[in-house]
């Protein structure tokens, strides 16, 4: 009787463990990536906030050290490509060029003399009046004189280049936005002197949600407004679309470029609002689109499904859908989904009905 009671107790204990293990397994919450089905037709009714920056900007510095004898511009001045904006005292560099030029003339004279002596000795050797060893010494002297010319010429070329570096020129048409030194200061090489921004073009960078990024090339009539400029409306063009989404926001950087307005000035750091309209005849804005990775076919069925997330229970439900035409933005869904549904976009084949999940990233505007 005791043996039977012990066996029954052991069986009940194992059963309880199995039930506890099964219950624990069912409660495992799986993280999934999902996206909210948005009404893309609203894209042209909304705006994106971006920050202005210069299309081109550069900090100018002398490549050689020296004493500044002139900074010919002030902050706010417009400069043209090639304009001289600052000058170092060229006297030390000009003196070095003059010294090396004279040294080069001396080296050339030495070479000419060595060449004449070599030619004379060669003639004597041919007449068997002088020894070959003597000629060899003169040839060596001529070679050494030529090497001296090459060395001085290289130093002169470098000194001439350094002399040109005493004049600092604007690399493009722009506006001076910072001045770091004053006249008569002694500066080291590569010390920033001026900062110049492109005076004609300005860029605005906006962050576009993942669900919109494939539609951006189909947007036209893009305009940008800045609160600081009042009702000034600027036309812009897309210059670059980022190829990698932010790991935290799942948005893509899109860069737009525009001309500076005539009677106003857009400065780097200004906040702008960007709007655009879909190109005529481009229909995906009115369709429900899902990524191809969200679609799966359950075992034993033939119809395509997607997993829809239920926020109240934090579980997923398989939803049958009717598919339309595949497009660059994903696959169109003609029936089965509504705007606002949250659809799992990764790992669809490894979920089960009613499974509890947590969202890795929910796209919100």
DSSP string over 303-333: S-EEEEEETTTTEEEEEE-EEEEEETTEEEE
Domain co-membership, 77 together with 190? yes
In CATH, what number is assigned to the domain containing residue 175? 2.40.50.100
Domain co-membership, 193 together with 311? no
Statement: residue 223 has pLDDT above 60: yes
> What's the structural domain count of the chain?
4
- Residue 286's pLDDT band (cuts 50, 70, 90): low
In CATH, what number is assigned to the domain containing residue 292? 2.40.420.20
277 vs 7: CA distance, rounded Å: 77
User: Does residue 346 fall inside a structural domain?
Assistant: yes
197 vs 185: CA distance, rounded Å: 24
User: Does residue 153 fall inside a structural domain?
Assistant: yes
Percent of the chain predicted with pLDDT > 90: 45
Residue 75 belongs to domain spanning: 64-87+170-197
85 vs 183: CA distance, rounded Å: 12
120 vs 112: CA distance, rounded Å: 12
User: Does residue 12 fall inside a structural domain?
Assistant: no
pLDDT of 280 reads: 66
284 vs 310: CA distance, rounded Å: 26
Domain co-membership, 102 together with 72? no
For the stretch 252-275, what's the b/e string if a residue is b when 16 or more beta carbons lie within 10 angstroms of its beta carbon? bbbbbebebeeeeebbeebebbbb
The least confident of 34-38, 69-73, 312-316, 359-363 is 359-363
309 vs 315: CA distance, rounded Å: 6
H/E stretch holding 291? none
Which of 244, 238, 257, 237 shows the shortest CA–CA distance to 210?
A: 244
**Residue located via tokens 């579980």:** 315
Domain co-membership, 219 together with 154? no
Domain co-membership, 275 together with 204? yes
Q: To the nearest 10°, the Cα dihedral for 297, 298, 303, 308? A: -80
User: Does residue 353 fall inside a structural domain?
Assistant: yes
User: Does residue 15 fall inside a structural domain?
Assistant: no
216 vs 208: CA distance, rounded Å: 9
Q: Please state whether 353 falls in left (phi above 0), alpha (psi between -120 and 50) or beta.
A: beta
Averaged over 18-47, what is the pLDDT? 64
Contact 193, 61 (CB under 8 A): yes
Domain co-membership, 183 together with 75? yes
Contact 162, 64 (CB under 8 A): yes
Single residue among 282, 301, 321 that ends a domain in this structure: 282
First to last CA, the chain: 70
pTM above 0.75, yes or no: no
Single residue among 282, 308, 340 that ends a domain in this structure: 282
* Structure tokens that stand for 339 in this block: 């705007």
Single residue among 282, 297, 323 that ends a domain in this structure: 282
Averaged over 221-235, what is the pLDDT? 91
User: Does residue 36 fall inside a structural domain?
Assistant: yes
Domain co-membership, 159 together with 145? yes
pLDDT of 255 reads: 94
Averaged over 39-60, what is the pLDDT? 80
In CATH, what number is assigned to the domain containing residue 204? 2.40.30.170
């Amino acid at each position: 009787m005791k043996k039977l009671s012990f066996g029954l107790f052991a069986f009940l204990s194992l059963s309880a463990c199995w039930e506890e293990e099964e219950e624990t397994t069912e409660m495992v919450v799986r993280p999934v990536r999902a996206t909210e089905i948005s009404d893309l037709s609203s894209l042209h009714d909304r705006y994106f906030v971006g920050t202005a920056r210069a299309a081109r900007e550069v900090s100018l510095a002398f490549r050689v050290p020296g004493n500044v004898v002139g900074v010919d511009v002030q902050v706010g001045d417009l400069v043209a490509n090639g304009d001289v904006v600052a000058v170092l005292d060229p006297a030390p560099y000009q003196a070095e060029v003059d010294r090396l030029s004279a040294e080069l003339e001396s080296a050339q004279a030495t070479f000419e003399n060595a060449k004449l002596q070599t030619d004379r000795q060669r003639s004597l050797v041919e007449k068997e009046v002088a020894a070959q060893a003597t000629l060899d010494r003169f040839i060596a002297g001529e070679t050494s004189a030529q090497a001296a010319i090459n060395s001085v010429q290289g130093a002169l070329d470098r000194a001439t280049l350094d002399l040109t570096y005493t004049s600092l020129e604007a690399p493009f048409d722009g506006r001076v936005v910072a001045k770091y030194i004053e006249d008569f200061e002694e500066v080291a090489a590569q010390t920033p002197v001026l900062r110049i921004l492109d005076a004609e073009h300005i860029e605005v960078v906006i962050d576009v949600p993942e669900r919109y990024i494939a539609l951006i090339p189909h947007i036209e009539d893009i305009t940008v407004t800045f609160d600081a400029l009042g009702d000034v409306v600027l036309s812009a063009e897309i210059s670059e679309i980022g190829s990698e989404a932010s790991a935290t926001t799942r948005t893509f950087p899109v860069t737009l470029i525009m001309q500076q307005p005539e009677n106003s000035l857009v400065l780097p750091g200004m906040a702008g609002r960007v709007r655009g309209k879909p190109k005529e005849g481009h229909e995906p804005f009115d369709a429900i689109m899902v990524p191809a990775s969200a679609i799966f076919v359950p075992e034993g069925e033939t119809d395509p499904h997607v997993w829809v997330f239920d926020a109240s229970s934090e579980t997923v439900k398989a939803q049958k859908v009717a598919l339309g035409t595949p497009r660059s933005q994903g696959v169109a869904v003609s029936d089965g989904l509504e705007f606002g549904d949250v659809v799992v976009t990764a790992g669809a084949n490894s979920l089960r009905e009613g499974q509890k999940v947590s969202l890795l990233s929910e796209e919100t505007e």
